[in-house]
Amino acid sequence: MPRLDESTDLYLRERESGVRHHTWRMWDSFANFALRDNVLEVAVGLILAASFTACANSLVTDIILPVISLLPFLSRNLDEKFTVFKAGPHYNVSISAGYNTKTQALADGAVVFAWGTFIDTVVRFVILATSMWIIATVYSRTTDDNIVKRQVRCKYCRKFISEKAVRCVNCTSWVDGREDHGH
């Protein structure tokens, strides 16, 4: 097998060393970024939030919405309630809504107002938001760390600022009214 001349061999060794150095620096930079404390905390928080959301969705879908669907004006699943604005070519006049399901109406090209899906989504949001507020309130009461911070309006610019603020972050006026007293 032919050997490379000395200058080519030296050039390739320098390039290899440079590639290894840059690869190591990129890996070190990535490890410093990905394994910092706050990034790991955010990742754990996102995983817990996804799990909590799945539990809240199950609560809404499997427990609350079936009870709501027992109301007389909601004779079937809430997320399947819809109104047809414009019927498609296979509209069935023998059915009260013209279609058995919202999916069937959409597949036929009908224009539907899916109000049941909207109510379903709103109920899910309210339950999730209320649950998160309760968790934050309990956490704030059991520790000295306030997650839910009380806010007040700045009397000069009327924007919300922290209750403990000394100066407004928006208009930089003193909250205690130093500008009003004169210098």
Over residues 133-143, the pLDDT tens digits come to 888 888 888 88
- Higher model confidence: residue 77 or residue 47? 47
d(C-alpha 48, C-alpha 90), whole Å: 46
Percent above pLDDT 90 for the chain: 1
**Buried/exposed code over 25-49 (b: 16+ C-beta within 10 A; e: otherwise):** eeeeeeeeeeeeeeeeeeeeeeeee
d(C-alpha 39, C-alpha 30), whole Å: 12
d(C-alpha 183, C-alpha 164), whole Å: 24
Mean pLDDT (whole number) for 33-60: 79
Residue 10 has pLDDT above 80, yes or no: yes
Same domain, 33 and 77: yes
Same domain, 108 and 26: yes
d(C-alpha 53, C-alpha 68), whole Å: 20
Structural domain including 174 reads: 150-183
Over residues 28-44, the pLDDT tens digits come to 887 776 666 667 777 88
- Note whether residue 165 is domain-resident: yes
Tokens encoding 143: 């520790």
Mean pLDDT (whole number) for 122-150: 80
Same domain, 64 and 120: yes
Query: What's the Cα-to-Cα distance from 13 to each of 21, 98, 111, rounded to whole Å?
Result: 12, 76, 68
- Compute CA 65 distance to the chain's CA centroid, rounded to the nearest angstrom: 22
Residue 54 has pLDDT above 80, yes or no: yes
* Long-range own/partner contacts, residues 48-51 (CB < 8 A, 24 or more apart): none
pTM for this entry: 0.53
Total domains, the chain:
2
Same domain, 156 and 85: no
Instruction: For residue 159, give every residue at least 6 positions away whose Cβ sits within 8 Å of its Cβ, in sequence order, or none.
Output: 153, 168, 170, 171
